[in-house]
Amino acid sequence: MARRPDDTMRSGPQRLLALVRSSVPPIHPAGWPFIAAGLAVAGAGHRHRWLRRTGLAAAAANAGFFRHPPRTPPTRPGVVVSPADGLICLVETAPLPPELGLGTDPVPRISIFLSLLDAHVQRCPVGGQVAAVEYRTGSFHSADLAAASEDNERNCVLIRTPEGRDVAVVQIAGLIARRIICDLQVGDTVQIGDTYGLIRFGSRLDTYLPPGSEILVEPGQRALAGETILARLP
């Protein structure tokens, strides 16, 4: 059947819109108040070039910081994906956070440092049921220091897989980060790669694995939340 002339006209804008949507990631809802504040400053300063530029720059910076890019998690069973974008800064063994009440035996721990340039949404490293959510106040040391795991303000989430394996992921506030957001509650069922929280303005994520897990990353590698495989469960 012959295509009508207006079909081509419609398909062009539609293709352009689809391209923009695929190239420009959506914004996490927590970022809209900050973006709106920047735009408000720009609007209020429309007669002053420096104020207008400052407001627009702040809105653009917050749009980048709070971006929520789509990710496709692996479908292989028994894998643990990165809960955050960032640099893998430590691969070691350490006891689980004491507030989880799971003992003091060291288990594998992978730490990821998020700079201001990384997307700051957090994703579930495994699928399963949320067995614990524990928040603890603390200090605000630089998140790339080893002491941050023990001393800084943090929020722990324990996820139990259908096979009964416990994986803990800990949001850790940093030198600039002062607000931890976690949308999970005990009893929630989650899928691997689901978005569950956010830390504002620089932070760190620790992932605690069951003993015997096979670590597949090394310090210095970069990770993508929901896609990079950190380990295989035993």
What is the arithmetic mean of pLDDT over 114-127?
87
Percent share of the chain, pLDDT over 90: 49
In the predicted structure, residue 181 carries a pLDDT above the cut 90: no
In the predicted structure, residue 136 carries a pLDDT above the cut 70: yes
Q: Which residues make up the CATH 2.70.70.10 domain(s) of the chain? A: 79-232
CATH 2.70.70.10 is the classification of domain 79-232: yes
Query: 189-219: per-residue pLDDT in tens?
Result: 999 999 998 887 668 899 999 999 999 999 9
What is the arithmetic mean of pLDDT over 130-146?
76
pLDDT of residue 208: 98
pLDDT of residue 50: 72
Structure tokens at 184: 């999970």
What is the arithmetic mean of pLDDT over 84-111?
94
Work out the pLDDT band at 116, boundaries 50, 70, 90. confident
Please report how many Cα atoms fall inside a 13 Å half-sphere around the Cα of residue 165, on the Cβ side: 20
Is the model more confident about 144 or about 89? Answer: 89
Work out the pLDDT band at 46, boundaries 50, 70, 90. low
Enter the DSSP assignment of 97.
P
In the predicted structure, residue 42 carries a pLDDT above the cut 70: no
Work out the pLDDT band at 155, boundaries 50, 70, 90. very high
pLDDT of residue 74: 93
Q: Is 103 left (phi over 0), alpha (psi -120 to 50) or beta?
A: left
Distance between CA 117 and CA 97 in Å, rounded? 28
In the predicted structure, residue 40 carries a pLDDT above the cut 90: no
Structure tokens at 141: 């040391």
Catalytic residues: 203
Work out the pLDDT band at 9, boundaries 50, 70, 90. very low
Residue type, 94: A
Distance between CA 9 and CA 12 in Å, rounded? 6
> pTM of the full predicted structure?
0.76
